[in-house]
């Protein structure tokens, strides 16, 4: 199966970095999406194996997208500078694996791969 | 000493004692062993909007429509105080009918008496509502600051990771990284130094100033006023840095005779668009690079994602021509 990851991040340099480093590690990247709307549209075309989410996006909190991912059984990993993303993005983010920001490359890949396996 | 003198002496003593109590700015209550109010301070009456007659002699729980009959306070008075000589700053949050929801710090001490172990209590009540609000606001602010710092570190990490290292010496990598790092610092400075907006001309001149020395170099032509938001300033500064660095390495700025002209126009079509042109001339013959490096990707990504526009890089024999077209006004 193709390792696909949807990247949702509104800071363009960080979005680029994540995209390039994941592509180098053999992932096929959907996005990066900078808004919830954009990400939801991408989901209509193709469901990724996993999604990597920033918590606050240009059109608000990622909550609605996280709910949509849950409904479609797509696991997600949170990459945020907030130490407790659920305080900003709501309960739907509680318990989701987090990789923090700045994001360490090896940790990111390990957590994504684990999320896809589980 | 006659009786009248004695009375005056006692009265003066009493007035002075009450005066001391009434001067303390925080509400005070003196309670007897049955928790009935013996004395209340002026601050207590004014703060809780009650009068003397409905206060003195009353049981504390019966005061002001039982507004002090608070489970937390009951626990404090009935369980904590009998076992200790003083309780300091016990936090009570309560909806008071007359003054609304408040956070009170209640301190209770046994009233000092030289002879016996007094069972009279001195209760002081400090309204900490505003202080608590300030603390909460400060926490939010600090959290936000922490968040922004980590985001900024994330940006630095991104350019450190994506600046090409393969085939370069340590020095070359360091210079390339620091070039971008400085661009990021300056872009940040330009975007946030003067709250809000700056004009395109100003941003171009300031960002390209280091490359504009002498008759050649970068020439910024005059154009119409285009106000930019902080996010756009940041993006544009980073794009300009990539273009200038590239011109110094491979393009018109790699030789003294080369020149770059930057000009722009606003197209008032259905929605106003900015058309910004970076035109190199007089440099070595150029050819499109075999693969697009991080710099080129950064420019393309920044224009499409951040400015909502499109960019064309034309490697013409006379020099690179970059054309950026982006909508104005509605850019996020």
Report the distance separating Cα B103 and Cα B94, nearest Å: 7
State the nearest Cα–Cα gap between B62 and chain A, in angstroms.
41
Chain A CB contacts of B149 below 8 Å:
81
Q: Does B231 touch chain A (CB under 8 A)?
A: no
Which residue in A has a C-alpha nearest to residue B163's C-alpha? Answer: A17
For testing contact with chain A, the best of B140, B154, B299, B305 (most A CBs within 10 A):
B154
Question: What's the whole-number mean pLDDT along residues B186-200?
Answer: 76
The residue that leads in pLDDT, B147 or A29, is A29
3-state secondary structure at position A65:
helix
Question: How many CA atoms within 13 Å lie on the side-chain side of B159?
Answer: 23
**Architecture (CATH level 2) of domain B3-127:** 2-Layer Sandwich (3.30)
* Chain A with chain B: Cβ pairs closer than 8 A: 59
Pick the CATH number of A4-117 from 2.40.30.60, 3.20.20.140, 3.40.50.2300, 3.40.50.720: 3.40.50.2300
Angle, helices B294-301 vs A12-24, to 10°: value is 130
CATH number given to B196-327: 3.30.565.10
Report the distance separating Cα B69 and Cα B58, nearest Å: 12
pLDDT at residue A31, rounded to an integer: 85
Distances from the Cα of A18 to the Cα of A10, A22, B6, angstroms: 12, 6, 88
Task: For residue B11, give both structure tokens.
Answer: 């009265």
pLDDT at residue B286, rounded to an integer: 82
Q: What band does B215 get if pLDDT is binned at 50, 70 and 90?
A: low
pLDDT at residue B325, rounded to an integer: 94
Convert the pLDDT of each residue in A72-92 to its tens digit: 999 999 998 887 888 888 888
User: Cβ A14–B155 below 8 Å, yes or no?
Assistant: yes
Residue B216 has pLDDT above 80, yes or no: no
**Closest of A45, A83, A9 to residue B147, by C-alpha:** A83
Convert the pLDDT of each residue in B164-175 to its tens digit: 898 999 999 999
Chain B CB contacts of A83 below 8 Å:
146
Give the distance from CA B185 to its chain's centroid. Answer: 19
Provide the ipTM: 0.89
Q: What band does B194 get if pLDDT is binned at 50, 70 and 90?
A: low
User: Cβ B297–A16 below 8 Å, yes or no?
Assistant: yes
Q: Which residues of A touch B (CB under 8 A)?
A: 11-17, 20-21, 32, 34, 58, 81-83, 100-103, 105
Report the distance separating Cα B201 and Cα B226, nearest Å: 8
Question: What's the whole-number mean pLDDT along residues B12-24?
Answer: 89
State the nearest Cα–Cα gap between A114 and chain B, in angstroms.
23
pLDDT at residue B42, rounded to an integer: 92
Report the distance separating Cα B320 and Cα A48, nearest Å: 39
Instruction: Judge contact between A50 and A76, C-beta under 8 A.
Output: yes
Report the distance separating Cα B111 and Cα B213, nearest Å: 80
Convert the pLDDT of each residue in B273-298 to its tens digit: 999 999 999 888 887 877 778 888 89
Report the distance separating Cα B275 and Cα A60, nearest Å: 30
User: Cβ B154–A58 below 8 Å, yes or no?
Assistant: no
∠ CA B55-B56-B59, nearest 5°, is 75
3-state secondary structure at position B60:
helix
Pairing assessment for the beta strands B28-31 and B37-40 based on DSSP bridges: antiparallel
236-275 in chain B: CB under 8 A from chain A: 238
Other beta carbons less than 10 A from residue B64's beta carbon: 16
Chain B CB contacts of A101 below 8 Å:
150-151, 153-154
Instruction: Judge contact between B59 and B34, C-beta under 8 A.
Output: yes
Domain ranges in chain A? Answer: 4-117
Domain ranges in chain B? Answer: 3-127, 196-327
Residue B156 has pLDDT above 70, yes or no: yes
Convert the pLDDT of each residue in B67-84 to its tens digit: 788 888 888 888 877 777
Least CB–CB distance from A81: residue in B150, B161, B297 = B150
State the nearest Cα–Cα gap between B273 and chain A, in angstroms.
22
Q: Does B154 touch chain A (CB under 8 A)?
A: yes
Q: What is the 3-class SS of B256-324, one letter each residue?
A: CCCEEEEEEEEEECCCEEEEEEEEEECCCCCCCCCCCCHHHHHHHHHHHHHCCCEEEEEEECCEEEEEE
Other beta carbons less than 10 A from residue B296's beta carbon: 17
Least CB–CB distance from A17: residue in B153, B158, B302 = B158
Report the distance separating Cα B199 and Cα B219, nearest Å: 17
Q: Does B176 touch chain A (CB under 8 A)?
A: no
Residue B239 has pLDDT above 80, yes or no: yes
pLDDT at residue A37, rounded to an integer: 94
**Closest of A42, A54, A43, A59 to residue A18, by C-alpha:** A54
pLDDT at residue B331, rounded to an integer: 42
The helix (H) or strand (E) run that includes residue B219 is strand B217-220
């Amino acid at each position: 199966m193709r390792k696909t990851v949807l990247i949702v991040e509104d800071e363009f340099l960080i979005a680029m970095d994540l995209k390039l480093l994941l592509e180098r590690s053999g992932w096929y990247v959907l996005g990066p999406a900078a808004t919830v709307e954009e990400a939801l549209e991408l989901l209509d075309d193709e469901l990724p194996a996993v999604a990597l989410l920033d918590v606050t996006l240009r059109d608000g909190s990622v909550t609605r997208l996280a709910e949509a991912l849950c409904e479609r059984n797509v696991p997600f990993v949170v990459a945020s500078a907030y130490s407790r993303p659920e305080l900003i993005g709501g309960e739907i983010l509680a318990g989701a694996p987090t990789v923090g920001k700045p994001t360490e490359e090896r940790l990111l890949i390990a957590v994504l791969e684990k999320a896809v396996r589980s | 000493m006659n009786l009248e003198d004695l009375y005056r002496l006692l009265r003066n003593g009493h007035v002075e004692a009450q005066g001391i109590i009434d001067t303390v700015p925080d509400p005070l209550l003196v309670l007897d062993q049955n928790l009935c109010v013996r004395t209340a301070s002026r601050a207590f009456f004014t703060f809780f909007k009650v009068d003397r007659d409905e206060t003195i002699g009353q049981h504390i729980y019966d005061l002001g429509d039982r507004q002090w009959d608070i489970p937390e306070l009951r626990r404090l008075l009935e369980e904590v105080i009998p076992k200790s000589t003083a309780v300091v700053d016990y936090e009570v949050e309560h909806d008071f009918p007359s003054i609304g929801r408040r956070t009170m710090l209640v301190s209770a001490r046994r009233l000092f008496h030289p002879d016996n172990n007094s069972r009279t209590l001195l209760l002081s009540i400090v309204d900490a509502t505003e202080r608590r609000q300030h603390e909460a606001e400060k926490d939010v602010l600090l959290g936000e600051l922490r968040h922004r710092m980590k985001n900024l570190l994330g940006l630095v990490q991104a350019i450190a990771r994506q600046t090409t290292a393969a085939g370069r010496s340590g020095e070359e990598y360091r210079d390339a990284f620091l070039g971008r790092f400085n661009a990021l610092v300056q872009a940040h400075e330009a975007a946030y130094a003067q709250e809000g907006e700056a004009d395109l001309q100003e941003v171009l001149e300031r960002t390209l100033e280091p490359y504009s020395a002498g008759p050649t170099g970068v020439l910024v032509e005059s154009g119409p006023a285009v106000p930019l938001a902080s996010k756009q300033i940041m993006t544009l500064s980073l794009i300009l840095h990539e273009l200038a660095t590239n011109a110094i390495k491979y393009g018109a700025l790699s030789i003294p005779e080369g020149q770059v002209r930057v000009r722009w126009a606003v197209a008032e079509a259905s929605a106003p668009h900015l058309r910004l042109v970076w035109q190199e001339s007089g440099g070595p013959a150029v050819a499109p690079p075999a693969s697009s490096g991080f710099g080129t990707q950064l420019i393309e990504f920044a224009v499409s994602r951040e400015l909502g526009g499109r960019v064309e890089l034309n490697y013409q024999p006379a020099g690179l021509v970059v054309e950026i077209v982006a909508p104005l006004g509605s850019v996020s």
